[in-house]
Structure 1
Amino acid sequence: MSGQQVTTAIEDLLGLPAGTRVGYQITQRLGYTYDGAATALRHRLVVVPPRRHGDQSVRESSLVVSAPAAEVTWQRGADGLRVAVIELARVPPRLDFDVEVTLERLVGGPRPALRATALGGRRLLASTPLTAPDAALTAAARALRAEDPLLTARRFCAWAHSHIRYVPGSTDVTTTAAQALTRGSGVCQDQAHVMLALCRAAGLPARYVSGHLVGDGPSHAWVEVIVPDGLPGRPRQAAPVGLAGLPGAVAVAFDPCHDREADLRYVTVAVGRDYTDVAPTSGRYTGTGRGLLRTTQRVSVLAVHPPDGRFPKSIDDRE
């Protein structure tokens, strides 16, 4: 399939009617090579999405570790985070983690729901080391803030997009929002951190999203802003299991890298306070060997299931 066909098919996702189900597949390899001895490995992977996130549902998932002796345990973190912890007494010269996930999104389905306490809780309002605002970010947040939280979010998204040029390699995972703003450049992670800093400076709860953009190579990052469910002009959505009967909040996703609301081109893997919470791969080991990471991934649309119940149509089919 040529690049132009991929682009056309991806753009077709924007015009699908409500009730359409879209199937996706994530195929990913995280490969480490070690140039010396390494023992007592404890590794953390955040690469498999929660079973449900708003209109997104995981159908199947697998994680295969190339070392047969590795022990894998799964943990659940805040915001539905799924964490794989891999432990290995002796690390081979090459260690691969292969991930495959199939999932589905429902056009017009519910947004991610939260308890109403998320609107005033410190967890999503308090700054983190990566999102602490400086004087410039604080002043921008005050100037851009509106009464409507969604209008505020749109303004913050556009501001982060216009003030941080996308320049690969210009920052790293330790770069703060204030540092990225001073440099005026960064990557999607930095644009998300800048938008988070603005939100929190304005008292608007928000969280960092780690995921994938269909048709893009590397992992992507964007922001979810938490607003009351049933804002004026927007109907209240049905409360999910576990939140029934409670006044609630919903998450609305914005991508400051592209200055737009997130849509069906986006697949969420994890959400947290900032990058540190949801880093796809991290860990520690003992030894003199240095580990070098190489990653490959592909996120593709498998099929589109029309709401009228017709036979599913491959995204590659052309009428």
Structure 2
Amino acid sequence: MLDHTTLDLESADRITYCLNQSFRYDYDTPVTSLRQRLVVVPPVRHGDLHRRSHRVDVTGAASQRRVSRDVSGNTIVRVHAPRVEHSVEFRVTATIERVRRDGPPVLPASTLVEPRLLRPTELTAPDDRIRDLAAALPQDKGLDLAKAICAQTHAAIAYEPGVTTVDTTAAQALEDGRGVCQDQAHVMLALCHLVGLPARYVSGHLLGQGGTHAWVEVILPRAGAAVAIPFDPCHDRRGDSRYVTIATGRDYADVAPTSGSYVGAPGGRLTASREVGVVKICPE
């Protein structure tokens, strides 16, 4: 892979990314009826991002799989393994190309009033602290308001791994003032909902970062339709060519990369790895 820090990605006409990601579960004793839900395959198209190829492999156990799409259009891979003796590994490889001229995701104008993107979930429900933050926002609209929410969230939540879990709510993270990208995205979504900005959670990858990243897409009107504009409250900036989208939803629970169940003794151990980078760039 190329060293993306030496490349002028924003002036490139086309960028090709390669993704390699794996999730390995190890068990002390055999387990049965393992069922896994994977949200790891990039969309066929997401604005200027195009999936050119992909493959999902399961090793360590005989299994069956079923591929479907959820209500948001995400690719969902469901795996059933009747028995796992020691370990099972799920691996995805994909090639994604960014075509600059294709621009951000264009959505129907009806998306601007879609209840799923305007109503809170259990993870993004506001409390008095979040309502106070919303009341302190400047009286801007559209893109300027989204920028202000992103900046306010960044200032309110210090990035600190290990202090929250996947079940931590936006209100809990804001009360503690610490969290990770998932928590920052949830707080930004809560604020967007309060001021009437439709927005959605994004699960994906950020070049140079070790694990799956999370950010927010704010839905704004444009020429009789709507567009999804990415904002990263973890870094207080707009999304750019360093970001590769995998899935969108109402919150983390909709698009958790891996989740599932099995029958057997508790204590399975998860080991995850990820490599994503630029393999080709075509200047403008």
Identify the residue that residue 250 of structure 1 maps to in structure 2: 227
Aligned position for 1:52 = 45
Closer, same or farther: CA 40–201 of 1 in aligned 2, 3 Å:
same
Aligned residue in 2 for 1:305: 282
Unmatched 5+ stretches in structure 2: none
Q: Given that residues 231 and 237 in structure 2 are in contact (C-alpha distance below 8 angstroms), is that contact kept between their aligned partners in structure 1?
A: yes
Task: Answer 1 or 2: which has greater strand percent.
Answer: 2
Q: 1:263 aligns with which of 217, 229, 240?
A: 240
Cα deviation, 1:156-190, whole Å, max 9, x if unaligned, reads 00011011000010101000000000000000000
Q: Can you list the C-alpha shifts for 1:60-96, whole angstroms capped at 9, x where unaligned? A: 0000000452101101012220000000111121111
Q: CA RMSD in A?
A: 1.5
Greater radius of gyration (CA): 1
> Following the alignment from structure 2 to structure 1, what is the Cα–Cα distance between the partners of residues 16 and 71?
26
SS of residue paired to 2:136: helix
Residue 36 (structure 2) aligns with = 43
Q: Distance in 1 between matches of 2:212 and 2:80?
A: 25
Q: Give, in whole Å, the separation in 2 of the partners of 1:213 and 1:171.
A: 21
Distance 2:139 2:74 in 1: 31
Indicate if the aligned counterparts of 1:171 and 1:186 stay in contact, CA closer than 8 A.
Answer: yes
Query: Match for residue 73 of structure 1?
Result: 66
- Residue 75 of structure 2, aligned match among 75, 79, 82: 82
Return 5+ residue gaps in structure 1 as ranges: 231-246, 308-319
TM-score by length of 2: 0.96
TM-score normalized by the length of structure 1: 0.86
* Displacement after TM superposition at 1:290 (Å): 2.4
Shift of 1:286: 1.0
1:13 to 5, 9, 15: 9
User: Displacement of 1:34 after TM fit?
Assistant: 0.8
Matches within 5 A, 1:64-143: 64-67=57-60, 69-143=62-136
Q: Measure how far apart 1:113 and its partner are.
A: 1.7
**DSSP 3-state at the match of 2:102:** coil
Inter-partner Cα distance in structure 2 for 1:137 and 1:203: 14
Tell me the alpha carbon deviations over residues 257-294 of structure 1, each in whole angstroms, 9 at most, x when there is no partner.
00000000000000000000000000011111421101
Give 2:3's aligned amino acid.
V
Q: Does 2:18 correspond to 1:25? A: yes
Q: Partners in 2 of 1:265 and 1:7 — Cα distance?
A: 8
Distance, in Å, in 2 between the alignment partners of 1:100 and 1:8 is 23
Which SS does the other structure have where 2:231 is aligned? strand
Separation (CA, whole Å) in 2 of partners of 1:28 and 1:221: 16
1:184 equivalent among 161, 167, 177: 177
